Every structure is written in structure tokens, then in C-alpha cells.
Structure 1
Amino acid sequence: MSYDPGPRFLGSLVLVTGAAHGIGRACVEWFAAEGARVVVADLDIETAREVVEALGGSGQEHLAVEVDVTEDGSVRACVEAASDHLGGIDVLVNVAGGGIPNKDFESTGDDMWARAMELNLMGTVRSIRASLPHLRRSTRHPAIVSVSSVNALVALGGEPYSAAKLGLVSLTRGLAVELGPAGIRVNAVAPGTIRSRVWDNQEGGADRMLPLYPLGRVGEPDDIAGAVTFLASRDASWITGHTLPVDGGLLTGHRQV
């Protein structure tokens, strides 16, 4: 039996973008709990530093880095800072992204489409491109995991955001084939509704989406972090090119109400 039940990321070097809040923060906490050294990269640098402080340790294990994934120079500087601090990168987790408020399709102009693509697709492209030289040198089963959305897989409105997230599904497949010979696995998760700050000022909050979910609840950031860490771990060592829905059954269907 070759399975090792010990901490799956002991000694691993992990970079998480969009890491200060919600799904990103939960991913940081899960990786750190399993022995990884983590770079907490986010545009909100003050909160990123608070995340690092909350992780504890000697202050040498983890690092907060400011990054704007819509700027190539910022992404490259972040990756270099991460590699310098960690001594390399074994796992890249692309969480940075977000919805861009838009009206109906006909009224949504090119600028809104460009913003959605820059934040949700090109930001991940930049992060992967900058990280690849470090991932290629990794000897710890390198992996990339990106956060897409169920919006990529079923019509839920918000066409610019949904199209950008579908782009991540295609990117994941293409890079899995291209990078497979280098031993780099590439996967994604597609979350359903997750209880996070984006719902704070919306009437009914995330719970207004409950009727869509057969499991009777919306998701929590930890639900996605569990899937991300699985896909990045040796438990998924023969899985690449997949987008895993983590959606409480949404894509299966919902009860008549």
C-alpha cells in the first residue's frame, strides 16, 4: 500500500490569489493546516496581512503579497516575491475574480465585457504564465487549480462573467494536455452559490438562492476549499483537465416550488 495518510502538503509551497476573503481565505487555511507554506496574494493587502497573522507560526512560513491580477507587472512581481520567500512554487490556486454588475445583454457594452474578461479569465492566464517556470522546477507533484463557476456550465445570467468563467474551463483542458508531459496537473472547481461578502448588501442574501439547491443550503467557503485541496493533493494524482462542480446538486436539478 503506497497511500500516506499524513498531512498532504507538508513542505509544499503554495500561492493563492484572491486569498484575503471568502473562498481564497478558506483555501489558505486548509493548505496551511495540512503543512503548506502559503503566499496570501490579494489586492486587499491589509486583510491579507491579517490572514497571515491569524495563521500564526514564526512569521517565516507564510507571506502576504499585494497583487492586481489585471496588471501583468503586478502579477509577475507577486510570483517572484512568492518564489523568493518560499524557495519555489509547487501549487498555484487561482481564486481572484468576481462578478461585474451588468444590465441585460443588449445594454452591456464592450467595456463591461472587457472588465469581466480581464478580471476572471486574463487574471488567471497571467498568474499561470508567470508561475510556470517555478512549477516546472517543482519536484513535489506540481498542480494548478482555478476557481470557475456553475455559471460556466448552465445559464444563470450575467453573460460577461459566465463567458469568462467558461473560458477557464477551456483553459483548464488545454493546459492539462500541454503541461501533462511536464508532470503539472491542471484542474478547476465550479462553485454554486457561496455564502460570502458579495451577498451582504443584497436583499435576502445568499439564502434567497436556497430553492435551487437539493441539499437545502447554499455553500460555504470551506466546501470549495475542500475540493481545491483535494484536486491539488496526491489524492488526485491521476486527475487532470477536469472542472469539478461543487454545487449542492444545482446542476442536477431542483424541486418544484
Structure 2
Amino acid sequence: MSADFAGKTIAITGAAGGIGQGLCRFFGAQGATIGAIDRSDAVLELAAALQADGISIQAAVADIASPDTARAAISTFGDVHILINNAGLSRHATIAKTDPAGWEEDISVNLNGAYNCAHAVLPQMVERQGGAIVNVGSVNGLQALGDPAYSAAKAGMIAMTKALALEYGRYNIRTNIVLPGTVRTPLWDARKAKDPDVLKTLERWYPLGRIVEPDEVARVIAFLASDAASAVTGAAIPVDCGLTAGNIVMTREITLEDF
């Protein structure tokens, strides 16, 4: 159990998703009290299951795209020492398939929702003169990889992270963002039903030859939220098995080397 998280309340958005469930279990096992937020009722089932495992967790069903709803959900958890903005949504693969309503939906959930939750917790963090916010972005925020509305929102999260770090550092509030690549979550089960080799195809693009596991994302978030990262703020850290290090497929073809 980590002394950094024991006795602290950690609010986690998108808690019912693949990465979110992993985060709840990870930090719950570290002795934290979890404030789990999701717009799906599945978050209630998750909370019941984790409570049965001895984890301290409260759940709130809320659409964080609404500022008032996000604020109300956060307020039910009392003192929030760490906020993990993990909620995310992508339903539009290309610009051509993205209408204005779809664009607005992806921006609202991914970017505005993260802002709304940060806005809700900042006053109490300022009053305590301390806190940590870790945003869960994506490598899509760095380069064009499809899902343009989602990608634009994730790029906006990077800019928001740096702005928060600049303005609130004087209150000992640190804000960082992790940028996962492809993560092994239930989302990919549906994709594999259509194409059983989809992950094998994707793995060619990753220098480590594999995709990311949810607990690998959780461990980097835990570092950024912990006292071990006391001098780290405004950082954007890829957790991507090397995807953003370079184009390994193109490099192999140019050099004709298999490495």
C-alpha cells in the first residue's frame, strides 16, 4: 500500500470503462477512497463489486459534459485530493463521417468534461494549498491517427494541462497528462469480432511489438499523482509502447532492415 494514496480521495471519471475500471482497482488497492464517475449505470455495479473486495468507493452517475452535473457529482465525494480526468468518447472515424452534432459531442465529453471537473475541484485544492490533476489524453492529440474530433479534443487537453500547471502551480497544484496509445480494453473485443487480426496488425507500428495494458497506464498516472513526481507539472507523457518515437514500419521499409 502506498503512503501517497492511503487516506486520500481520488475522483476518477469514465470509471466504468476499461482504463477507468483498472484505475479504480489500482488506486483502491493502494488505500485510496475512490470517487467513481461515469454516465453509465455500470459504475454502480463496479462500485458494488469493488466494495465486496474491501475497496472504499463511492459512485456517481453523471454526464460531466454538463458543468452543473459535473460539479454536483464531485461535491458528493467531499475532499478530493487527486482528480483523474479519464472519461473519453470517440464515435466518428473521419471528418467526412463527422457532422456538427458529432463534433460537438466528442469535444464536449473529452475536453469540456475534463475542464468541468477540474473547475469543480480547483477551489478546494487552492484552499488546501495542494492537489494533483492527471488528465488522460491520447497519442491522437499529437498526430493525425483518425477520429479527428476526438483527436482535436485530446490536443486541447494538452493545452489545458499546461495552462492549469502555469496558473495553479503557486498553490502547489500539479497538473499533468498521459498520452496512451492503443490500450487492451473491452473496446477491442468488438473490433476483433470484425477482424480477429486487428491487434496483430496494429502491433507492427509499436516498437515494443505490443499494445499497452491498462495497468501500465495506471502506474504512470500513479507516479504523476504521487510525491515522487513533486517537481513534475505541465508534462505530457506518452504511454504508447514507443508509437510516437517514430514510424517503425516506414523505417523498416526505407532501411530494408528488420529491427
Q: Specify if TM > 0.5.
A: yes
Q: Give the corresponding residue for 2:143.
A: 154
Residue of structure 2 equivalent to 1:12 = 8
| Unmatched segments (≥5 aa) in structure 1 | none
Alpha-carbon distance change, 215 to 59 in structure 1, aligned in 2, over 3 angstroms: closer
CA distance in 1, matches of 2:212, 2:200: 10
Is the counterpart of residue 145 in structure 1 residue 134 in structure 2?
yes
1:98 equivalenced with 2:89 (yes/no): yes
Q: What is the Cα-based RMSD across aligned positions, in Å?
A: 2.0
- Counterparts of 2:212 and 2:93, CA distance in 1: 24
Name the counterpart of 1:190: 179
Partner of 2:18: 22
Q: TM-score with structure 1 length normalisation? A: 0.89
Structure 2 length-normalised TM: 0.88
Contact 2:93 2:146 in 1 (8 A): no
- Matched AA of 1:73: D
Question: 1:172 pairs with 143, 156, 161, which one?
Answer: 161
2:102 to 112, 118, 128: 112
Q: Are 1:226 and 2:219 matched, yes or no?
A: yes
1:24-62 Cα offsets, whole Å, 9 max, x none, are 1111111111111111111123x3223223333798932
The answer to which of 64-73 and 141-150 deviates more is 64-73
AA at the equivalent of 1:115: E
The unaligned stretches of length 5 or more in structure 2 are: 254-259
Q: Tell me if structure 1 keeps the 8 A contact 2:206–2:243.
A: yes
Structure 1 position 199 matched with structure 2 position 195: no
Residue 56 of structure 1, aligned match among 45, 48, 51:
51
2:233 is paired with a residue of what secondary structure? coil
- 8 Å CA contact 1:191, 1:247 repeated in 2: yes
- In structure 1, the partner of 2:257 is none
3-state SS of 1:251 partner: helix
Aligned to 1:238: 231
Alpha-carbon distance between aligned partners in 1 of 2:199 and 2:119, rounded to the nearest angstrom: 34
Q: Residues 91 and 135 of structure 1 are in contact (CA less than 8 Å); yes or no, is this contact kept in structure 2?
A: no
Structure 1 residues 116 and 58, CA, compared in 2 at 3 Å: closer, same or farther? Answer: closer
Equivalenced residue count is 246
Q: Deviations over 1:48-95 (max 9, x none)?
A: 223223333798932111111122222111011112xxxx11000000
5 Å matches for 1:65-80?
A: 65-80=60-75
